[in-house]
Amino acid sequence: MNYELATLGGGCFWCLEAVYQQLEGVESVVSGYAGGTAETANYRDVCSGTTDHAEVIQIKYNKEKISFGEILDIFWTIHDPTTLNRQGNDVGPQYRSAIFYHDENQKIIAEQSANEIAPKIWDDPITTEITSLKEFFPGETYHQNYYAKTGSRNPYCTFVITPKVTKFRKQFADRLKKS
């Protein structure tokens, strides 16, 4: 009963997953898709741009160990919420910055965080979509735990994900899971 869900989009789901899996209070992270108009979602269709889904992660977290607000504090630092439909070289609506809230309390916290916390980190206007989660579609098995499984064997991981994970580990060292 102490667990809640958070669903976030911030570019490639592999990047977000790799960070949040290391965060104290996080029970699990599932890569998937949300925010689209199609009745189903899979990687091929989402990448085509025809479903309107975003690549997202769904975080199951222990609310006694970490709050939704703290999860968002990290969210603002691990991706660029000022670039519409883009994170680095990943371009398209599937890479948009988004917070899919699960209830009215999360909506209030997300809006407050976007208006008060994010602008302290970023100079440009925040483009993050804040909307109710309608449905979450788990991603394909090969997308789950991707960074943990492939790491340095994949150039994308080496050049894109590793720097984000390194920055997170340095900036939030006190929030890492204990080994």
Active site residues: 12
DSSP string, the chain: --EEEEEEEES-HHHHHHHHTTBTTEEEEEEEEES-SSSS--HHHHHHTSS--EEEEEEEEETTT--HHHHHHHHHHHS-TTSTTEETTEESGGG-EEEEESSHHHHHHHHHHHHHTHHHH-SSPP--EEEE---EEEPPGGGTTHHHHHGGGSHHIIIIIHHHHHHHHHHTGGGBPP-
